[in-house]
């Protein structure tokens, strides 16, 4: 018979972690519905407001889309305005 002991979760010990962008609401851009992910990113020091420091591909893509939508005047980029 095998017995498995409960082990605590090990901390991530990677030297280079991806840096994630924070949205206007303080949530991580690549995972906007997960409050725990936003908190974890801030506590572990992998969240940033500095666009130049972001290394997460998904966050960079979302930042680009958001900036492009703002530049084009489409607000959030989801609905087009017709005049």
Q: What is the per-residue burial (b if ≥16 Cβ within 10 Å, else e) of 34-46?
A: eeebbeebeeeeb
pLDDT by residue (tens digit) across 14-51?
A: 667 889 999 888 899 999 899 998 999 999 889 998 99
Per-residue tokens: 75: 């607000």
Dist CA 77 CA 66 (whole Å): 7
Q: Where are the domains of the chain?
A: 20-72
What pTM, to 2 d.p., does this model score? 0.65
State CA 39 to chain mean position distance: 11
Task: Round to whole Å and give the CA distance between 83 and 68.
Answer: 20
Q: What is the pLDDT of residue 82?
A: 47
């Amino acid at each position: 018979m095998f017995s498995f002991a409960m082990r605590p979760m090990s901390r991530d010990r990677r030297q280079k972690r991806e840096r994630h962008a924070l949205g206007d609401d303080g949530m991580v851009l690549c995972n906007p519905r997960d409050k725990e992910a936003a908190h974890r990113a801030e506590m572990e020091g992998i969240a940033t407001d500095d666009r130049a420091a972001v290394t997460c591909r998904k966050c960079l893509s979302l930042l680009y889309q958001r900036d492009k939508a703002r530049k084009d005047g489409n607000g959030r980029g989801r609905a087009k305005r017709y005049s």
